[in-house]
Amino acid sequence: MNKLKIQDFISIGIYTAIYFLVVTIAMVILRFTIPAFNSVLIPSATALFAGIVYLLVIHRIPRFGAITIMGSVMGLFFLVSGHFPLSFLPNILCAVVADWIQYHTKLSEKARTMFSYTVFSFGLMGPVLPLWFMKNAYIDSLVARGKDAVYIDKVFAPITTTTFYVCTIAVIVCSILGIIIGQKIYNKHFDKAKGKNYGKNIRNV
């Protein structure tokens, strides 16, 4: 297995920045269209649009480790900029699993890409996690001021389970759609325009 070079690290950084731009755009669009609880839909909205970025990373840097680094950098960036400090772990875990699926399983190429992209998209579940903590905090404060627990359970039980299922299913459906859209865009713009050896030429400079 050939190791990653300095150029590869730099390309990974740039693709991560673009991926992050997609996340930001998705966040802004959702914030304007859905007033509350919009963070639940961030992973699926990003999955829908970022398929092309993921495909490019796979095609340009076809080595084990690229996706792991991308996920870890996303996690570190979230940690330092403090948006969702807890999203560090899901990002790295999902990225490692996605990387492993991409390069160490014997599925057909299309299914492999689709599957690993779905797993990778789950890394963005980090922003959703605070919602659960928010809910727990709310229940705590209600209990502390003497509301009875049965009433609280009755009110909140459907909210969490439904949002969780909706979120999971939305991520799966959107990432499959996203990778199909991404494949179309890739064939339209990147395959013909530059020739298939373009990426290889860059790395041999």
- Contacts with another protein by CB under 8 A lie at 4, 6-7, 9-18, 20-22, 29, 32-33, 36, 49, 52-53, 56, 60, 65, 69-70, 72-73, 76-77, 79-86, 130-131, 133-138, 140-142, 144-145, 147, 155, 181, 185, 189-190, 194, 198-199, 202, 205
Instruction: Please tell me what DSSP assigns to residue 85.
Output: G
Closer residue to another protein, CB minimum distance, 108 or 160: 160
Q: How many CB atoms are located within 10 Å of the residue 198 CB?
A: 13
Shortest spacing between CB 114 and another protein, in angstroms: 19
> How far, CA to CA in Å, does 168 sit from each of 15, 60, 120?
25, 29, 13
Longest dimension (CA), the chain: 70
Closer residue to another protein, CB minimum distance, 35 or 108: 35
Shortest spacing between CB 103 and another protein, in angstroms: 17
C-alpha span between 188 and 49 (Å, rounded): 16
CB of 42 within 8 A of CB of 128? yes
Closer residue to another protein, CB minimum distance, 142 or 172: 142
Shortest spacing between CB 110 and another protein, in angstroms: 21
Closer residue to another protein, CB minimum distance, 22 or 101: 22
C-alpha span between 164 and 160 (Å, rounded): 6
